[in-house]
Amino acid sequence: MGGIDKEFEIRRPHNSGRLYNFLIRYKFRKALEVLPFPIKDLSLLDICCGSGMISEFYAKTGAKVIGIDLSEDAINRAKIRKERYEFNANFRVIDASNLPFPCNSFDIVSVHDGLHHIPKPAQAVKEMMRVAKKGIIIIEPAKSFITEIAILLGISLRYEGPDFVYRLKEKETRQWLEEAGIKKIFVRRYIMYYPHQPGRFFRIFDNKTSFFIAKNAFQLLNILFGRFGNKIQVIGLK
């Protein structure tokens, strides 16, 4: 990952501004609200964990976390994050498309913005379902009209480096889970945008009043138009 700001990857969303922090955590909180049980004390596998941001969130929520990624550099950053922010998790270099774990090894298996980097995302989802005992959480970019406009405007990318950004379709994702024998599937779309690394603009919303306005505008936007959103959240329960 040439040109990456390693320090920012280790610390985000810490010290990244009030609105940025809210938007990042919104995705994870909304996913957990769908689960019919708390994740405290459950075993959780975080695939494509990158620098450990979502692993930290889950660990501090009480889950027993293992984070995996194909990138050794990412795993090294995740280990630094673990020590710096004092949470319990194990990190390992593993291919998400070929998990070396027995069936039903983890209560929950989760992925956040990782499937779109995998050449065969359907295979990764199949592996997630195989090793999950209770269910899976998928939080990924969605195929949407909004995204196509954003790409044309240069806000979003069709490729990240050499990797094509695979955006999930609801029908297709449901099919993957149904083929794996999942009966309970919960899908939610929402509109979400933030630059990967926020600039000075986002600091405007550190103010209590401006943050209140931005937060409520975001929530109203999603009440009205969220079903057309550029992000998709899929929960599959066994």
- The domain locations on the chain are 6-237
pLDDT at 2: 45
Q: Report pLDDT digits (tens) over 39-61.
A: 999 999 999 999 999 999 999 99
Cα Rg, the chain, nearest whole Å: 17
Q: What is the mean pLDDT of the chain?
A: 92
Specify the higher pLDDT residue, 144 or 57.
57
Instruction: Provide the CATH topology of domain 6-237.
Output: Rossmann fold (3.40.50)
pLDDT at 1: 42
Q: Report pLDDT digits (tens) over 116-128.
A: 888 889 999 999 9
Closest-CA residue to 27 (of 235, 236, 206, 238) = 235
Q: Catalogue the E-assigned strands of the chain.
A: 43-47, 64-69, 89-93, 106-112, 132-141, 159-160, 163-164, 184-190, 231-237
Confidence of residue 148 (pLDDT cuts 50, 70, 90): confident
pLDDT at 152: 76
Q: Contact 10/80 with Cβ under 8 angstroms?
A: yes
Residue 3 has pLDDT above 70, yes or no: no
